[in-house]
Amino acid sequence: IGTLAGALGGAGPTEIVEAALLQVPALAPYAHAIAITLIVLLVTYLSLVIGELVPNRLALSNTAGIAGVVAGPMKRLSSLAKPIVWLLSISTDAVLRLLGAKKSAGLPVTPEEITGLMEQGEEVGMFEAAETDIVEAIFRLSDLRVGALMTPRTDVDWLDLEEPFEVNLRRIMESPHNHFPVAEGSLDNVLGILRSKDLLARTTEGAPYDLRELTQPAQFIPESTPAFQALNVLKGTVGNLALVIDEFGGMQGMVTLFDAMEAIVGDLSERGEPVEPEAVQREDGSWLIEGMMRIDEMKKLFDIDELPEEDHAGYQTVGGFIMAQIGSVPSSGDHFSCSDWRFEVMDMDGMRVDKVMVSKDQDA
Banded pLDDT at 274 (limits 50, 70, 90): low
β-strand partners of 253: 152, 244
User: For the whole model, what pTM was predicted?
Assistant: 0.63
The span from the CA of 58 to the CA of 70, in Å, is: 13
Alpha carbon dihedral 253, 257, 260, 266, in 10-degree steps, equals -110
Q: Coil, strand, or helix at residue 3?
A: helix
- How open is the CA angle 183-184-187, to the nearest 5 degrees? 50
Give 165-214 pLDDT, tens digit per residue: 889 889 998 888 899 999 999 998 999 999 988 888 877 766 667 888 88
Q: Are 223 and 245 in contact (CB under 8 A)?
A: yes
CB atoms within 10 A of CB 345: 22
pLDDT tens across 74-122, in order? 899 999 999 999 999 999 888 988 888 776 665 577 888 888 888 888 8
With CA atoms as reference, report the closest residue to 222 among 190, 255, 189, 186.
255
- Cα separation values, 43 from 20, 47, 203, Å: 19, 6, 85
Report the run of H or E that residue 116 belongs to, with start and end. helix 111-123
| End-to-end Cα, the chain, rounded Å | 45
